[in-house]
A = this chain, B = another copy of it.
């Protein structure tokens, strides 16, 4: 039975990761986008099971104790985590899973599921990233400077990723992400069972 591919996508803050992922999911609707658990309150319009699984702090800590998370972290007083259970279930069924996660989380995933395919989305240049962050108009100058500093720091982690995709245009970037996903499904280890099956009948 064919296993699914776990594709981990990280990217510089402000690089346009959600737009690229949305495009990828549109073109490959059978791909499962992993939904995180969080203890933070839902924002206006956010839906349980779509944007996040919204759970209580108690519930989240029980899941930690059960070792249920592939990775989790606490940011400004709230937990965020990825359930191993859901991902395993999908992969076992042969469904490809896309996980949007930052660099520390990706490191933990690599440790626990070494077969994961990891991808880092970069801007065409830091100059262009700065331009995009300003154009977005949602962040203060200070916040933008912070994001750029983070992007520079995270760029050093790229050596641990399997693939690098440049978000020059959303179409190009999505096309490359889809190619990486397709290629992962063609890897010899994933298809050798086809040969073994045939060899049995010789």
Contact = CB atoms under 8 A, between A and B. Distances in A.
Interface of A: 119-120, 122, 125-126, 152, 155, 158-159, 161-166, 175-176, 178-180, 182-184, 186-188, 190-192, 194-195, 198-199, 201-202
A202 B152 CA distance: 8
B166 A188 contact: no
B178 A191 contact: no
A201 B187 CA distance: 37
11 contacts: A126-B201, A159-B188, A161-B188, A164-B187, A164-B188, A166-B191, A175-B182, A176-B182, A179-B179, A179-B180, A180-B183
Contacts of A184: 183
B155 A199 contact: yes
A195 B158 contact: yes
B152 A122 contact: no
A13 to B, nearest CB: 15
A187 B159 contact: no
Contact of A186 (B152, B179, B187, B199): B179
Contacts of A182: 175-176, 179-180, 183
A178 to B, nearest CB: 7
A122 B126 CA distance: 44
A11 to B, nearest CB: 13
B164 A194 contact: yes
A47 to B, nearest CB: 33
